[in-house]
Homo-oligomer: A and B are copies of this chain.
Amino acid sequence: MFYHTKKLQYFKPPEKPDPIYAKKIQELIGGTFGEMTVMMQYLFQGWNCRGPAKYRDMLLDIGTEEIGHIEMLATTIAHLLDKAPIKLQEDGAKDPVVGAVMGGSNPRDIITDVMAAAMNPQHAIVSGLGAMPADSVGFPWNGRFIVASGNLMADFRSNLHAESQGRLQAVRLYEMTNDPGVKDTLSFMIARDTMHQNQWLAAIEDLKAEGLEDTPVPSAFPLELEKREFAYQFWNHSEGTESAEGRWAKGPSMDGKGEFEYVKHPQPLGPEPTPPAQPEPRLYGTPQFRQTQDQGQQKASDRKIIG
């Protein structure tokens, strides 16, 4: 069960409205790597967790923190949308084509019109100048953005990846504004992302130290059941061998169980596929050969009902 406190985890209000930036920062709420993703991912991982209690507790702690991050961003967006121009200017709109849309004759009017033209229209029409559960192009957040697999190592790697993409996007948005209030709020969130990258790296170490999981994930699957001879080969699928120069092409493998090998001219190991000679006739696929003279038209009277 959850409780709410009215105060925000952290917050500095934007100094000025900016509807274009409001559109952009929606990415951090409802984008693939936004706060809705980490919140839902950590909560579902916690709820589904069957491993030791410390992991379950930790997952629910951080998932609960992330709900508050959405709250901070939603508040930021409400401020950024305040006084947004919901309509293009009408003065000076003389030209039949242009004037209908844009009539501003001085730079300020033009600029206000640009804002009205390029802001997310749903911020006016649908949400009445409030945040939405969508990304920076208005695409809605959806449940396929998260994973909770029951295997904590696989999931902690997912979490590390989400926090890496998330901090990258937050930093980019930090660079895309000059507003001191927005920058201050983001600098808190970026610091939390630093913690969370560290946290998942630590959690990965912790799982290893507990002997619960290792590379390759899942490590409990008997290695002799996979085709070991192909488990450390890099296949060079193009001409040229620049890809031979990396760590992945030679030396001991990272799991300590093999040696990397560079396959310069890989050849297929399998045969040409041979589909069934004739497809199921009642599905009317194209057969390999013309079946009869009157294949173009079966006769209903000839059909044996075969269920």
Number of copies: 6
Bound complex: CA of A297 vs CA of B6, how far in Å?
Answer: 34
Which residue of chain B is the closest to A23 with respect to CB atoms? Answer: B121
Bound complex: CA of A241 vs CA of B177, how far in Å?
Answer: 38
**Could you show 9 A-B contacts with beta carbons less than 8 Å apart?**
A9-B270, A36-B143, A51-B285, A128-B285, A188-B227, A194-B231, A194-B255, A198-B260, A218-B284
Contact A136 B142 (CB under 8 A): no
- A38 on interface, CB distance cutoff 8 Å: no
Contact A8 B270 (CB under 8 A): yes
Contact B48 A126 (CB under 8 A): no
Residues of B within 8 A of A99 (CB): 16
Bound complex: CA of A33 vs CA of B171, how far in Å?
Answer: 27
Residues of B within 8 A of A55 (CB): 246, 286
Bound complex: CA of A57 vs CA of B242, how far in Å?
Answer: 6
Contact A127 B148 (CB under 8 A): yes
Bound complex: CA of A252 vs CA of B258, how far in Å?
Answer: 31
Contact B284 A240 (CB under 8 A): no
Of the listed residues A51, A205, A282, A299, the one surrounded by the most CB atoms of chain B closer than 10 A to its CB is: A282
Contact A203 B168 (CB under 8 A): no
Flag A138-155 by CB within 8 Å of B: 1 or 0 each. Answer: 111111111111111110
Contact A171 B218 (CB under 8 A): yes
